[in-house]
Amino acid sequence: MKRFDIHRPDRAIEPALIDKIDNLTKPKGSLGMLERLALQIGLIQQTLSPELRNPCNILFAADHGIIAEGVSVSPKEVTRQQVEHFVRGGAGINFLCNQHGFRLVVVDAGVDHEFPEGSGVVDMKVRRSTRNFLHEAAMTSGEADLCLERGAEMVSRVHADGCNVVSFGEMGSGNTSSSSMWMHILTGIPLDKCIGAGAGLDSDGVRHKLDVLTRALEAYEGDGSLWSRLCRFGGLEMMMAVGGMLRAAELGMVILVDGFIMTSCMAAAIALNPAVADYAVYGHCGDESGHRLMLDALGARPLLRLDLRLGEGSGAVCAYPILQSAVRMINEMDSFKKVSVTKYF
């Protein structure tokens, strides 16, 4: 498995950051989450004057073999159609990236389709769709490792272009099934609490999904290692996002985490290398069943609750202005020492 050299931020600078934040012209703690974010970003960047540069949303797309079991109302061809939609510029993530100044990079991690050269889709395909994990491993260990490498490569590319804050999105019909399995494996939360409607299943559909995933769990005959189980039940786009997250932390970037699927990817990244947790900012708590439970299991404090369940990186990008406010606060507010205001707390 690919290794990443991730170091927790050096906390030697922390007292100076806290002193700067506490002595801005406001009551101590009165800007709440903005103060905590400014501290986290300052620690990540090892500076008293942090900055956010060239934000990027990397969207990985792939198909899932488990969709053959009727676990999603979204047919497989929707993955390919949506990828084409992204590069045309008319999807939900497009207007949000346009609004908030994000570069959108669309990556084929494993779509069961060949996009033509010049389509605007970055070709990082590992294989055309995962296998059906009800019957066999979704991907081999080698395929999963290649996903980590290619996800890391995508982050290296945007970092070389000056990006220091990155979010990740996904597209893949059936990928909430893989995310539910990862959530169960990584947190120990009962499987029925990890499963929701995905793209719009009704109650009968959710019960069927639970039945399929329960049987898949019972059918697993691997060695029981975390890596084996991630490979058995994961998605190519999900494993690629894990590699991207690990590489972003290795490069000292701020990682904006999106919804249910990307939170399960961050949980996997943390399980593989716990130091990545210090670089994660959780954009929102989504409307997918289980997301709040997973956030709680990670000790995460999401910035927004907008009842989103679109994926694509949408909630992470929506949360970006809050990070901007935190950085503006620490850089632009005066200190009590600088101006003639009595320190009144």
Structure tokens at 46: 């090892």
Which DSSP letter does residue 24 get?
A: B
Task: Identify the bridge partners of residue 252 per DSSP, sorted by sequence position.
Answer: none
Structure tokens at 63: 């198909």
Gap between the Cα atoms of 111 and 171, Å rounded: 9
| Secondary structure of residue 121 in the 3-state scheme | coil
CA distances from 101 to 1, 52, 94, 165, 317 (A): 35, 11, 10, 12, 9
Q: Note the helical H segments in 46-134.
A: 77-88, 92-100
- Find, among 89, 154, 93, 84, the residue nearest to 119 by Cα: 84
Cα diameter, the chain:
71
Residue showing tokens 């990890």: 194
Q: Note the helical H segments in the chain.
A: 14-22, 32-45, 77-88, 92-100, 141-160, 175-187, 191-194, 203-219, 226-233, 236-250, 260-272, 291-298, 314-332
| Cβ proximity of 178 and 184 under 8 Å | no
Catalytic residue of the set 35, 117, 312, 332: 312
Gap between the Cα atoms of 146 and 83, Å rounded: 21
**47 contact partners, CB below 8 Å, separation of at least 6:** 13
Q: Element (H or E) spanning 135, and its range?
A: none
- Find, among 51, 53, 54, 72, the residue nearest to 63 by Cα: 72
| Cβ proximity of 235 and 62 under 8 Å | yes
For this structure, is 312 an active site residue? yes
Residue showing tokens 């084409």: 84
Catalytic residues: 312
